[in-house]
Structure 1
Amino acid sequence: MNPLLGSDIRSMAQRSVLCWLATADASGQPNVTPKEIFAILDDEHIVVANIASPGSAKNIRANAKVCLSFIDVFAQKGYKVLGVATEAKPTDAEYARWVEPLRAMAGERFPIHSVFVVRATAVEPILAPSYLLYPAETSEAMQIASALRVYGVRRAGEDGF
């Protein structure tokens, strides 16, 4: 059986600067917030640092269903992960396990108040429309080149940079 969070998904997560965590409160009102400290911990868990997210924490306590997404902005593809979240606090027995990869990323710069532990239940690819509408004409290399132009980004080593 293939792991839910396999190597392709792990690679994409590592290339993503942010993930977006969507939660909903008890009445169903959605909320989406960016998270910059996150990691795939194992084949079914993604951990997200709660640095400044009291609203996300409150929503997860009221409604555990979440959606987390991450994309490579240059390749214009990524993944959407549906799951069930819990909030692990420093006083919880499993907290050290969940927070370890996040502390390595955050260092001393960001205080981690708790960890949102997302158990993935489904994963779906996210693709820019060009991949779907023009599959014969669209490649990842073309998408990256186009995005670099649009964003005005140069790669290290290009044009003396």
Structure 2
Amino acid sequence: MTHDAEWTLEDTCRHAVLCWLATVDAAGQPSVSPKEIWHRDGDSFCIADIASAGSIRAIRVNPRVCVSLIDVFRERGHKLMGAAEIVESGAPEFAARAAPLRDLAGPDFPIRNVIVLRIERAVPIIAPSWRIFPERDADEHVRRSLETYGVRPR
């Protein structure tokens, strides 16, 4: 995987663990919040609202959001931009939207709402090392990242 075009949004969703949701509140103050229970559903990206009161408030005021997902070991990811909506627990589509998130969250984390981002634009994110060291392949990037973070594969 030495070329940008070879790393897809599907790859990012398969390998990223966390995502970061960027919102702007009523006062224009930006905020970035980590989210660990998420699911891509076609042209939508769904995030579980487990403890996201600030994100929910901001989206109600300004639905324009950005989500970043990165595989820290492969040093690649995507930035997703678009409009978000809040699917509340009483909404007809809540059960279908929440089902894959509940599978990830398990019984210990109740899902209050589902944040649904309609993906209008997906932009690749790539670490500068891919451009600085173009001769490195994906395995070399992973090896160096594991070394940098002091992590060993299972």
Gaps of at least 5 residues in structure 1 are 1-6, 157-161
Residues 1:140 and 2:138 are matched in the alignment = yes
Q: State the partner residue of 2:150.
A: 152
Q: Secondary structure at the match of 2:23?
A: strand
TM-score of the two chains, using structure 1 as the length reference: 0.88
Shift of 1:155: 1.4
Distance in 1 between the 2:52 and 2:34 partners?
10
Identity rate, percent: 42
Distance in 2 between the 1:134 and 1:147 partners?
14
Distance in 2 between the 1:114 and 1:30 partners?
21
Shift of 1:80: 0.3
Shift of 1:10: 2.1
Q: State the partner residue of 1:11.
A: 11
Gaps of at least 5 residues in structure 2 are 1-6
Report the count of equivalent residues.
Answer: 148
Distance in 2 between the 1:11 and 1:51 partners?
25
Q: Identify the range of structure 1 (141-150 vs 54-63) with the bigger mean alpha-carbon deviation.
A: 141-150
TM-score of the two chains, using structure 2 as the length reference: 0.91
Q: Identify the range of structure 1 (112-121 vs 125-134) with the bigger mean alpha-carbon deviation.
A: 125-134
CA RMSD after TM alignment:
1.3
Shift of 1:102: 0.2
Distance in 1 between the 2:92 and 2:48 partners?
17
Greater than 2 Å deviation, 4+ residue runs: 132-135
Q: How big is each residue's C-alpha offset from its partner over 1:105-143, in whole Å with a ceiling of 9 and x where there is no partner? A: 1110211111100000101000000112332x2322111
Q: State the partner residue of 2:121.
A: 122
Q: How big is each residue's C-alpha offset from its partner over 1:17-40, in whole Å with a ceiling of 9 and x where there is no partner? A: 100000111232110010000010
Q: State the partner residue of 2:45.
A: 46
Q: Secondary structure at the match of 2:8?
A: helix
Distance in 2 between the 1:138 and 1:126 partners?
17
